[in-house]
Structure 1
């Protein structure tokens, strides 16, 4: 039986809702990509954090990693676009 995992990162909750809706419609499993050091809820402070990560080519640590990836035939990664690219946590 084919299995799908939807791994998603969200800061404001919009991508989470999209991932949950997609999982509900497709029967996929969900995994939340969460950084150890959370991004600020303040947009301006978050922009500063993200810019610093980009300048440092940082790969933020994740709280957890998905288990048993070999069990999935398809892995979908969902995330918001930050300044024409993905958040650095996705590169981790």
Structure 2
């Protein structure tokens, strides 16, 4: 999956808790990969296929949830930036 902010982090954590193997990728990598395939379609279905092809070719590392202390610290820093 691509990183999508707070919603993506919650989904990734949930999927990891369900013992599913996931990778969380920078959207810029997927976008650049799409350009190499001359992919122009920008729909959820086309994006899902593109991410699947990327993962088949590149075998990204599995995502490991950060420790709860790290999650809390990141949330505090984000809140400070927001203020």
Normalising by the smaller structure, the TM-score range is 0.3 to 0.5
Which structure has the larger Rg over C-alpha atoms?
2
> What TM-score results when the alignment is normalised by the length of structure 2?
0.32
Q: Which has the higher contact order (CA 8 A, sep 6+)?
A: 1
> What TM-score results when the alignment is normalised by the length of structure 1?
0.30
Larger helix share, 1 or 2: 2
Larger strand share, 1 or 2: 1
